[in-house]
Every structure is written in C-alpha cells, then in structure tokens.
Amino acid sequence: MKSKIREALNLKYAPVAILWTDEAPEGAGQFKAGKWGCVMWMLARAARGKTAVFTQDTCGCWGGGVGLGFGNQYLTFPGGIECFYYFLSTGNEQWERGKATAEKIKDFVTKDFLEDFLQGERYLKSPELVKAFVESMPFMDVPSKYVVFNPLEAVDPKEKEPEIVIFLADPDQLSALVILANYGRNGTDNVTIPYAAGCQTIGIFPYKEAKSENPRAVVGLTDISARENIRKQLGRDLFSFAVPWKMFLEMEANVEGSFLQRRTWKVLTGEREQA
C-alpha cells in the first residue's frame, strides 16, 4: 500500500506497518532466541524495505518484549523485577541482591550493560519511581505468536490490516504529522508523547490507543538509548510517529485539500523555491 502522507511529506524512509500473525513471513529478519538486540534495529530494517519478525523468545530485550506486547518481561530481568527498578534508576551496586546478581552475570553481558546494571541508567530518580512507572505500563499479551514489522508498501490491507503504522520523521515532518493528526478533529490532544522506551512508543502505547473510539498518535524516539542504537542506521534527526490503523486511514484521507498543498508547507520544504 502506498501512502499519500509519505509522498506529501517526502519521507526518506518507508512507513512501517506492525502486524499480528500466527504465520511467520518468509525471509524475515529475527533475533536469535535469548540473544540481546534492540527492537529499533528491526524498525530500521523495515523502514529500509525489509521485513522483521518477533516472538516472545526473540524480542531482543526485556523492554522490547514489553513494548511489542509480550507481557511483563521485566519479571525475567536478571535478579528479578526489583533489580530492574534499580537498573533504571540509582543502580544495583548499593544492595546485596544487586551486587550478587552482577557477580553472576558479569561474564555473560557486555561491559556497558554491566556498568549500567551497577551504576544505573538514571532515567528515573529512585527505584520507587521506577516501580510506579512499571505499574502504570499498559502491559498486554498480543493475540498472536508473531509481531511483524513490514514496509507499508509491501502490505495489502485487504489480506491483513496492520495494527499500527509508524512514520520516521524529521522535525519539520513531525510538525506536519501533528497538524494532520488534528486537522479533522475537535480538541488539541490528538497526539501524545508518553515517557517510555522507544519500542514501547511504537508498540503497547499505540496498541492501547487503538482500542479507543478516537485513538491518538504517539510520538516516540525520545528515549536516548533508542536514539543511540538507531542513529547509525537512520541518522540522528528522526522521531517516530505511531498511528493506529483507524487513525492512519483518517489522516490519509485528509491529505488532499489540507495545508500540505499550501504555501507555508511548500516554502518550508523548498518546493516553492524550486518551482
């Protein structure tokens, strides 16, 4: 399926469709079971025109499993979920279980992960705040064996409708997407930016929005760990903009006649000067 939005915004990378299925697509990229990997690498793969697939055992990391909709994977974090509370905040070096767990895993993890495990990523101020963050997470179990990332252009919605469509946009394009998301609607909160991992802002948060009568779009890649992991593949100036399928169709239908065909957008993109 071709996207009017991609054409109007002149997006460099293909919109990515997330699909739920019980049949694995042939030739899809996939992490090895139990091996670490960043879901955003697979997002980059799909944005470049190739397919990626995940299962509960091949989701890359704990946060990725949560983000893709494979339940509360934080429960399987080394040392248990309490060690995750310290990992995301002040570090595990300060308590006995954390130090003992670090000793057990030190020969099996990277130097960077071990340092973060001991010293903490410091993304929240305290373990208590991380606990509250986790408890507020919209965990879910997808009703399928596989979660697939496909370039939208390779998807036929008559055969299988995507759950989510993800755009990768620079600041100007992100601005246009926010405007388009609000273009045909009442209210001013039709786009949200939750505090969450990069994979969660393309997965469970838009999954949650898809259940509502008027779903909102979700801006992501505000997670600096995800930004570090994806910049070599896609560059350092992009944000994600994840849209539930129902909202995507609404936005597609609103391209014609909108600001995307008027002077300001053309000036901003340089199209007016070229003409």
- Summarize pLDDT for 52-67 with one digit per residue, the tens: 999 999 999 999 999 9
Spatial separation of the C-alpha atoms in residues 191 and 177, rounded to whole Å: 9
Tokens of 270: 């340089």
Per-position DSSP letters for 203-232, written without gaps between them: THHHHHHHTSSSPPEEEE---HHHHHHHHH
Residue with tokens 């469970």: 204
Contact 207, 138 (CB under 8 A): yes
The yes-or-no verdict on residue 257 having pLDDT over 80 is: yes
Least confident range from 43-47, 68-72, 105-109: namely: 105-109
Residue 270 confidence class, pLDDT cut points 50, 70, 90: confident
- Summarize pLDDT for 93-131 with one digit per residue, the tens: 999 999 999 999 999 899 999 999 999 999 999 999 999
Backbone torsion region of residue 246, taken as left when φ is above 0, otherwise alpha when ψ lies between -120 and 50, otherwise beta: alpha
Backbone torsion region of residue 44, taken as left when φ is above 0, otherwise alpha when ψ lies between -120 and 50, otherwise beta: alpha
pTM for this structure?
A: 0.94
Amino acid in the structure at residue 225 = S
- Summarize pLDDT for 132-191 with one digit per residue, the tens: 999 999 999 999 999 999 999 999 999 999 999 999 999 999 999 999 999 999 999 999
Residue 5 confidence class, pLDDT cut points 50, 70, 90: very high
The yes-or-no verdict on residue 272 having pLDDT over 90 is: no
pLDDT of residue 176: 97
Contact 69, 147 (CB under 8 A): yes
Contact 79, 65 (CB under 8 A): no
Spatial separation of the C-alpha atoms in residues 255 and 261, rounded to whole Å: 8
Spatial separation of the C-alpha atoms in residues 226 and 148, rounded to whole Å: 19
- Crossing angle for the helix pair 224-234 and 39-47, to the nearest 10 degrees: 30
Contact 30, 52 (CB under 8 A): yes
Tokens of 225: 């760990």
Contact 60, 51 (CB under 8 A): no
Residue 275 confidence class, pLDDT cut points 50, 70, 90: very low
* Cβ count near 263 (within 10 Å): 10
What share of residues in the chain are helix, strand, coil (percent, to 5)? 45, 15, 45
3-class SS letters over 101-169: HHHHHCCCCCHHHHHHHHHCCCCCCCHHHHHHHHHCCCCCECCCCEEEEEEHHHCCCCCCCCCEEEEEE
Contact 89, 80 (CB under 8 A): no
- Summarize pLDDT for 213-239 with one digit per residue, the tens: 999 999 999 999 999 999 999 999 999
- Summarize pLDDT for 179-211 with one digit per residue, the tens: 999 999 999 999 999 999 999 999 999 999 999
Contact 20, 53 (CB under 8 A): no
Q: Is 109 helix (H, G, I), strand (E, B) or coil?
A: coil
pLDDT of residue 271: 67
Tokens of 132: 């509250």
Tokens of 93: 């070096």
